[in-house]
Structure 1
Amino acid sequence: MTKSGTIRCGIGGWTFDPWEGTFYPETLAKKRQLEYASSQLKAIEVNGTYYGSQKPETFAKWASEVPEDFIFSLKASRFTTNKKVLAEAGESIGKFLSQGLTELGSHLGPILWQFMPTKKFDADDFGAFLALLPEKQDGLTLRHVVEVRHDSFRTPEFTALLAKHKVAVVCADHFDYPMIADVTGDFVYTRLQTGSDDVETCYDDKRLDLWADRVKIWAAGGDIADLAHADPGHKPDKKPRDVFAFFISEGKVNAPNGARALQQRVD
């Protein structure tokens, strides 16, 4: 066992017009943008899978264009997470997971189940949902992470459910949504969403240094007491964990620069 898990910094998607000429070389063909992005970063969170299904050939094509150790995180279908009764999401979960995403093979990273800001915590219903998430698909081990955006989830009961099912929770650095920095799974997933287009690296140097320290602590198996927790009394096992850090939303124009700058600090 290594002393630290692998830290992968990345962005959301790889097609965004303002990145052409800033992140992507001006002469780069659009069809080579994924190839280039994956040569500069270590992970990408795919948002398109939230809105609709993809073909197996599409996942296979993505896998063929990236380096051996590159990871895709896939945002799960909104038709699953937007259900009023999550306990009834079994068929929808199965449909999403069986669309061919295992064609990514070793490039398949965490599945992100993102919930509406209006979705409130219901212990029985949410527990039933977590129980529906399978450990494997087509023989491939799956890793699950949830992003909840309502304050009602800031309760030890929620943390206990996640730990029971070995599911991670997004640590969201966001202006409005609650931060839940509890470590409940075998990996840590943070979404850095308070950047600025006016800052060349999305987050300024001071904040990049701060987050670099934090992700290194997580990777080494530690917890970060000065971040908001749903259950401050929950102590995760001290063991190496992979960490995913995505620059998303605010400051999107410079998100790739932020991801590269953070990666350089932790490598």
Structure 2
Amino acid sequence: LKEKLGPILWQFPPSFRFDEKQFGDFLAQLPGDTDQGRQLARHADARLHVTGYLDALPDRALRHAVEIRNDSFRSQAFVELLRRYNVALVVADTAGKWPYLEDVTADFLYLRLHGDAQLYVSGYSDEALRRWQARIEAWTAGDQPDDAQLIDSRHRPPRKPRDLYCYFDNDVKVRAPYDARQLRQNLEQGRAGKT
């Protein structure tokens, strides 16, 4: 992916419960840059040794994001581990199926919008997209929404601009590209209105 390489998503199944030691050990092993990633990949199964797979820009920082699906992760220890390793907690809109949390744990945010009312199926209304627009504008400006759903309500993230990655995964009825385009237009109009 070279210059297009973004954060690496680590998604854990609903059956995976939080274990502080195990999770800390996992985070400690994540490669911090492309050189470390290449070294780790050399130990992978031989079938993954394909020409081009290990091509990456040298010494480029790697970002990691964690998407959880078990309530046992609603733990102060969990968010403290993510902050220690600068790993983003995925803000996952799953139509209420899995935990929805908005703690800022890294110098970037990673959003996955799986469906507003029905997981993977429903689109986002204009009102819902405006709500996401306001949240994205707050987060990227270095702020936090006043009504953010947090594990650690005492922690205030540093007030500095942040990168944000937002993916729509409500694709069963092919809503994702339309919702992404509309949200992008809303964000561009919001920026234009502030200049």
Q: Of residues 68, 73, 87 in structure 2, which corresponds to 1:153?
A: 73
Using CA pairs under 8 Å that are at least 6 residues apart, name the structure with larger relative contact order, 1 or 2: 1
Residue identity opposite 2:75 in structure 1 = T
Q: Between Structure 1 and Structure 2, how many residues are aligned?
A: 161
After the TM superposition, which residues 1-267 of structure 1 pair with which residues of structure 2 at under 5 Å, given as runs?
104-138=1-35, 139-174=59-94, 175-195=96-116, 202-249=123-170, 252-267=173-188
CA gap 1:132/1:252 in 2 versus in 1, 3 angstroms: farther
CA gap 1:186/1:207 in 2 versus in 1, 3 angstroms: same
Gaps of 5+ in 1: 1-103
TM-score, normalization: structure 2? 0.78
- Identity within the alignment, %: 45
| CA–CA separation in structure 1 for the residues paired with 2:152 and 2:21 | 18
Give the aligned CA root-mean-square deviation in angstroms.
1.7
| CA–CA separation in structure 2 for the residues paired with 1:233 and 1:196 | 30
CA gap 1:158/1:196 in 2 versus in 1, 3 angstroms: closer
Deviation at 1:246, TM superposition (A): 1.1
What is residue 48 of structure 2 aligned with on the other side?
A: none
Q: What's the secondary structure of 1:256's corresponding residue?
A: helix
Q: What's the secondary structure of 1:141's corresponding residue?
A: coil
Q: What's the secondary structure of 1:253's corresponding residue?
A: coil
Deviation at 1:137, TM superposition (A): 1.4
TM-score, normalization: structure 1? 0.58
CA gap 1:238/1:142 in 2 versus in 1, 3 angstroms: same
Residue identity opposite 1:140 in structure 2 = R
Deviation at 1:245, TM superposition (A): 1.2
